[in-house]
Structure 1
């Protein structure tokens, strides 16, 4: 008769360990639970809070500098990355992205205007596809597709904006713009300035 050297699974230890893991998960910082991330002052740059499955990126791979701040939109992972000019603040947000490749634009642009309660007007091509849409949805309306805040880009008709329809986030659901939860666009709105660099990849 041989004696196994494998330890036996202790059911009580397993249940206790699982409960400890669950308690630890609920103790995550609120900023991480909201889907954004931040490098805290004085913390090691290798220690970051992140409750999403998105990959955290380094700005040097995409920008020569962070003058005026930098926004990277990764259309594949459906994530927006922000770095402040002094690199003390880093945020990562889930986004909605264009419905199809023909509505997608990639490359470098910048923030040229910041608008609270932006009005929404469909483009001619949007109206052709959806003739029932109104010609104007005023800013502040609960059904406004631009949500509460918008960052206008140097490309005509392209915006980084909020949305009241939270089902769109994480999906291919826009007509070309990049959408964020309203609470995230409000935070990004305060962090950015006219002239913030933007790169869509």
Structure 2
């Protein structure tokens, strides 16, 4: 019964969050200072990495496995489960502090921005949960100092975009999806 209440609360919360997510990533009042570098990504243990790639067909790959027909809720639960690893599985992150989520895309796809939004919503849910436990309020209601304590102490925003705009301007030897800045023209 407790699991059912938690599931219903989570679904309701995520639905409300999706509607209210029209703001810019989060609210631009407190900067998320820490950024994941390519070195952090390449030196991390494989179980601490969740690589989300949109392939040429526009389909989602999670750690190389095609996830066709996965719903928004299933995706968010999978990401949250990877970060928190409640069952202490060896294929998931050792801790939420060590979990790194990498996003990439072969070409430009609308679903890339959607996946990034979903990942951010999972982080916001995790931050809200931690803020409720520590401060008995929502994460967005906290001042920057308390937000930093939540992010740095419980759930650091460890997201790296493998093919950001910087990577498309110059060749890069970083890990991830190669960039395809132009179309191939048949002669």
Which category describes the TM-score, using the shorter chain as reference length? under 0.3
Q: Write 1 or 2 for the structure with the bigger share of strand.
A: 1
Larger gyration radius, structure 1 or structure 2? 1
Q: TM-score, normalised by structure 1?
A: 0.26
Q: What TM-score, normalized by structure 2, do the two folds share?
A: 0.27
Richer in helix (by share):
2
